[in-house]
Amino acid sequence: MATYAVTTSDVDNWGDSSDRFKTRSPADQRLREKVAAGHSLVRLIRWQNDQPTVVERIAKENTNLNDVSTPSVPDRRVQQTVEDNPLIPMLKVEFWPTPFTFVEVPGLVQLWHAPERLHKGVYLWCIELNGGYLVNYVGKTTDKGGFETRLGTELKDCRLGRYTKMVDLEAFKQGRRIVLDSPLPGHLERQNSKLEPVYRILLAPIDSDADCRQVESTIVSTLKRNPFTEQFVANGKGYRPKVFLKVQFAELPRIIGLNCSVPEELEAASVPTATLP
């Protein structure tokens, strides 16, 4: 069985046997932490049959490799952003370009019939708006059942009214999430029947639980920076992406407020105050 170690030297340092990881994911996380802490050189070592192999090596440019055993101390007076730091690894995320649906919609594929349903990763509940997708909810799953099991459970809960806010249906379809304090009787049934055909589900396959958390937190925190996307996303507080891993999203599909800007006509529109969770 392979184990992993993270070191900060090229000189006879292959990782203490007492400080090794049994799986790759926590070792990757330690690697990113060391890079973000400002070490001049960081290596990920894979041990198998008592033989070490360098899996990944990250070094600052113009580093004197004869003097890398002492890590550089970052100047805390300089608040460098994650985006500006070339030493922080980049995680590139691609959503499948074709959206899926919960119910039958002409021209689209139901999630339950798609082979992609078996993958793990990050998913978005969206509506189509102005040539892009406006996100209503961000989630993740690394369970064995993949997207199918997780989204099946969420849809069932939604139909039963669990964790679900009653909203103005016409406003919602136009990208405005207005929560109703006193909905009329039968509103839940009407909401399910009207909104289920409108939802578009975007999926991004990601295997690592740590990467899923980072991508989920990055998406939510990014969407909450703009008033228009913030009022529509139903995720609450507490989503804080780690600073040791940048996330970059592919250009397609167009996700409003994430990989494409909010259209001026939407940003300039008066958005009624919504009661957010």
Measured distance CA(223)–CA(207) in Å, rounded: 23
* Whole-prediction pTM: 0.70
Q: What angle do CA 64, 66, 67 make, to 5 degrees?
A: 75
Which of the residue ranges 40-49, 71-80, 206-215 has the most confident prediction, judged by mean pLDDT? 206-215
Q: Select from 243, 257, 5, 276 the least CA-distant residue to 167.
A: 276
**DSSP structure class, residue 272:** P
Measured distance CA(151)–CA(111) in Å, rounded: 9
Cα-based distances in Å from 68 to 7, 64, 198, 200, 227: 11, 7, 56, 50, 46
- In the numeric block, the tokens 């978005």 are attached to 124
Residues β-bridged to residue 59 = 41
Which of the residue ranges 2-6, 20-24, 119-123 has the most confident prediction, judged by mean pLDDT? 119-123
State the pLDDT confidence band at 81, using cuts at 50, 70 and 90.
very low
